[in-house]
Amino acid sequence: MDRVIFHIDVNSAFLSWSALKIIASGGADIREVPSVVSGDPEDRRSIITAKSIPAKKFGINTADPLSSALRKCPSLVVVPPDFEWYSECSRKFIAICREYSPVLQQFSIDECFLDMTGFLGGADPVQVATRLKDDIHSKLGFTVNVGVGSNKLLAKMASDFTKPDKVHTLWSREVESKMWPLPVRDLLYVGKKTEEKLVHYGISTIGHLAKVNPGTLGSIIGHKASLTLHDYANGVDDSPVEVLTQEAKSYSVERTFKNDVTDYKAMDRALFNLSCTVAHRIRVDGVRALSVSLFVKAKDFSVKSRQCQMERPTDTTAIILRYARTLLPDIWDGSTPIRQAGITLGKLSHDDFDQLFLFEDPQMEYYRKWDEEYDRKAMAEGADPRSKMRKKSRQEDDVPVTEHPSGESALKAAKEAVKKNPDLTFERKPLQDGTDCFILQDHSGKIVGRHVVPGSVAKVPKGNLSPEEEEYRRSIDDAVKKASEKSARRYEQFMELMKKATGK
């Protein structure tokens, strides 16, 4: 049986979804005027994430700096992103699509693939796709394009034909007539730099690319890329629609600060470090994430968190950091002392079928080079020195650890534990890294629990430490200092790269 794949793509998703919310509150339809979704106009790093059709007529494009867009159209309506609302719209959109086939892969917050093979019930694929498109419009109020094809590549290409609110087919038999005449840049995976190389050698259309010998193509753009692009130019793609479950694995990283963070620059540097670490981990494992969540824990141990879906699955540090930054103002006022922060990436995909040309402009080229260099150094240096220290400080046992905001509350908890079980005893003994700790022991001397005060330093006279412990304490302090200095240099280098990438 021949495969039948649908690719459903929301038309100008962020802008359409923002428009629906504005209309519901009595506002005008921003889709009918030059408008964009972007960050704070005062923030020089803000870029365009979505645009209206009237805005496009002014030469405004996705990923353009907002400052550039305002120069092109001073009357431009700028709407801030609302990721919580976008996630709600996305969930409803995906729910309707899932009614048509359970074999669904969410490709991004506003796109998904459906494997309709065996779920058409004998109906014409175009009629079913049209019914799905109209179903979404009538129930949710926004339009989509549906591409119908023999595989994921062709379905995706078809959905990018004329917009909005359209159904297009691209079967294997239609590749030569519908796809080959298109500019080579329209082929998935062909970005600006690749296009320039191909056009330089006279390869200007997808049809030209399809007929070039893979060996010759490899000498132009590299062997690995040449094989993929040659297959794609000929409409070949065997990748399955990968079903992602809600129980998909996630990647998390968190950090407890030595000193509470109370200003934005220090927090931004912390977000940068967290993003570098967690992005490196998913790249090593060959996955991309669609959702990102951020949490902060205050000095009083209260926790606030926010989550959003990114525009597309990614493993790029700069993009993960960008979304983490948008979440921060919702959970932190910029002055409340923060003792811990963390980032979690979820909704993972192992599928290599990804839009490598996402925001394909100098920015992505800079960001990818940054990640490649980071990965190279991380692999060469091995684990983060602080990870080694944490591992060494906890190597004694795997007993339960309870965190407390102060030494007094830790002491109280230890006393209560002994009161409940007279066979236990406790003593105040710092961990090897100096953290204040009360350990619980049974009658045999076995440690059965710890009550610790993270971020604290136990007030223990130096005379109570052996020479070996004092030397270890000094080694930790030196290593932490060096790691902190290295992190500061890396952050400043990244900020310089951001300025260069955005041309500011």
On whether the CB atoms of residues 47 and 38 are closer than 8 A, the answer is yes
Closest CA to 440 of 409, 464, 418: 418
Q: How many CB atoms lie within 10 A of CB 67?
A: 16
CA separation (Å) from 435 to 301, 323, 408, 412, 456? 17, 33, 14, 17, 5
Query: How many Å apart are CA 160 and CA 154, to the nearest integer?
Result: 10
Q: Does the active-site annotation cover 111?
A: yes
**Burial 23-50, CB ≥16 within 10 A → b, else e:** eeeeeeebbeebbbbbbeeeeebbbbbb
Termini Cα distance of the chain? 54
Closest CA to 76 of 85, 84, 67: 67
For 204, the token pair is: 């200007």
Question: What are the helix (H) ranges across 347-423?
Answer: 362-381, 385-393, 407-420
Q: Which of 42, 111, 247, 427 is catalytic?
A: 111
Query: How many Å apart are CA 53 and CA 35, to the nearest integer?
Result: 8
Query: How many Å apart are CA 482 and CA 488, to the nearest integer?
Result: 10
Query: How many Å apart are CA 353 and CA 333, to the nearest integer?
Result: 39
> Look-up: residue for tokens 């889709």?
31
Give every CB contact of residue 206 below 8 A, 6+ residues apart in sequence: 179, 180, 181, 182, 183, 184, 186, 187, 233
Helix (H) or strand (E) holding 214: helix 214-221
Query: How many Å apart are CA 221 and CA 224, to the nearest integer?
Result: 9
Give catalytic residues, as residue numbers.
Answer: 111
